[in-house]
Chains A and B, each alone.
Chain A
């Protein structure tokens, strides 16, 4: 049907379009908060990942080393190892269990120390590494060399050189600093795509929109009201995720409230772009059951390839161009730069620009595919 609203905005009797838009926004917001799928995808799902990664992350590398049964425990080597924070010593395991665990890589190495009955050196340290855990084995090797060197050079003046190492105190980059922006991006993607697709399909299918058209409301008010509600809900969700991350898992907000504000601006841009995909899906879907598969075609690749869980630098070279074509990649990237590096919005203008280009492209498609009836 064609748009016939040729009258002036006020029409007869001073009709108020803002009031209509806000009434729609309020109705939509109420509806979203009562929709289980919206709450699960926007809040529960990302929070579960954040909690899981928040607890397992942060500790850095740990080496599991078994001490051979019957090994001497009261010697400087074991004492030094116990004081090394990256090493977790297990002293009372059985030989059989140790062998099995080494094969699986559950232990990174087996160590035994024996006293030299013939005098010097005072102790022999025997280490058995496992091919199941070579990287950790190499770390252990250098830890042991370091300990051996320190123990061997007690009270000796170095003949050639002494290494004086100092470490710059940097910001601790926790797992949460990587995971949270990714989960936030995913939350915005789900809200934008699934939520928008479902609601506009349902409104069209159940003739809700047709009934709206029998009132003086404008089409733009319907879209705008829906957008306000969805963006509002997404931003509340984002704020909630950021605050949980910050206060429970020490998510870094380098400039405090200003960082949060910048993140919310990025979130708004993100959700507007993702809503464009939702409009397209609602237009393409022939039935309610085709919405999830079509939406997944859009969300799943971005979930996996846009650096939500892993840095895209870890992907094989042929996959990286695909990752670098997706809008979520740039949202995640910008979020991380803003949150951890303290970048301002101008510093991430390239990422914003690419998201906006996606936005223009997807809304051009949406205008073609969207159906009111």
Chain B
């Protein structure tokens, strides 16, 4: 994990909406082939930061490069090497999953086999279904499939597991890890610390538009313990989610 090549670098990023200062001088780097987590409460500026890097939103000031490309001058080239999953985005109405993937293939200018894409996220049997007919977990997996169409170097996932049940969540963690293992860099946001701890190689804590901590989950925890922190309650070898999973099974429900 040491001395790795940065694929995204953000320095002194600032974004103001009229009076509201959403992002106030963020600087961080995302390394190639890692899962990088932006953590923080609602309204901390996670989504805004993500959308600026995705070239979907303008910035007030600062420098952002993605794979060596500047977001100010090379937005179109950046769009071709990234995959984006938006929070709560819908899809073109009245089309089934295969047709939606065909549409995205056209939008990215690539030739893909929709069924192969669906196989990557284990949705082959939903090929003829409409997006709105899918369950929450299936919707997220389909959204991730659309981010993979252009074989991107980086994918951005904005709260991919919000609203999912424990099985669907774990299933999605596996999928995201596979994507990282196949060589793609993943940047995601989440509210769930257990998720960040298990899934992310490095995390940045964002609070009120600023980064207040950035390191591997392990290191951040060790630092806290070294400062003399102790949990009030004795830590057990399992938590309630482990109970839930062991009671209801690891099988993912549709």
| A residues at B contact (CB < 8 Å) | 1-2, 4-7, 11-16, 19-20, 22-24, 26-28, 30-31, 34-35, 199, 202-203, 206-208, 210-217
- Closest residue on chain B to residue A211 by CB atoms: B89
List 9 other contacts, CB 8 Å, given A1-B58, A15-B109.
A7-B74, A19-B109, A23-B105, A206-B93, A207-B90, A208-B92, A210-B56, A211-B91, A216-B107
Cβ of A207: which chain B residues have Cβ within 8 Å of it?
86, 88-90
Known: A15-B76, A210-B56. A202 touches B109 (CB 8 A): no
**A197 to B71 Cα, complex, angstroms:** 33
B102 pairs with A208, CB closer than 8 A: no
Q: Does B126 contact A (CB under 8 A)?
A: no
Cross-interface CB contact of B95 among A14, A30, A215, cutoff 8 Å = A30
B108 pairs with A215, CB closer than 8 A: yes
| B residues at A contact (CB < 8 Å) | 54-58, 71-77, 79-82, 84, 86, 88-95, 99-100, 102-109, 146, 150
Known: A1-B58, A12-B77, A210-B56. A24 touches B107 (CB 8 A): yes
B103 pairs with A27, CB closer than 8 A: yes
Total A-B Cβ pairs within 8 A: 112
B106 pairs with A19, CB closer than 8 A: yes
- What's the nearest-Cβ distance from chain A to residue B158, in Å? 11
A208 pairs with B57, CB closer than 8 A: no
A214 pairs with B86, CB closer than 8 A: yes
- Closest residue on chain B to residue A9 by CB atoms: B76
- What's the nearest-Cβ distance from chain A to residue B105, in Å? 7
Q: 3 tightest CB-CB pairs across the interface, nearest first?
A: A23-B106, A206-B90, A214-B84
- What's the nearest-Cβ distance from chain B to residue A324, in Å? 38
**A4 to B150 Cα, complex, angstroms:** 20
A214 pairs with B102, CB closer than 8 A: no
Cβ of A24: which chain B residues have Cβ within 8 Å of it?
103, 106-107
A27 pairs with B79, CB closer than 8 A: no
Cβ of A5: which chain B residues have Cβ within 8 Å of it?
75-76
A-B contact pairs, 30 of them (CB 8 A): A4-B71, A4-B75, A7-B77, A11-B80, A12-B77, A16-B109, A19-B109, A20-B107, A23-B102, A23-B103, A23-B106, A24-B103, A27-B92, A28-B92, A30-B94, A31-B93, A206-B91, A207-B88, A207-B89, A208-B92, A210-B89, A211-B84, A211-B86, A214-B54, A214-B55, A215-B107, A215-B108, A215-B150, A216-B108, A217-B107
- Closest residue on chain B to residue A216 by CB atoms: B79
Known: A6-B73, A206-B89, A214-B79. A1 touches B56 (CB 8 A): yes
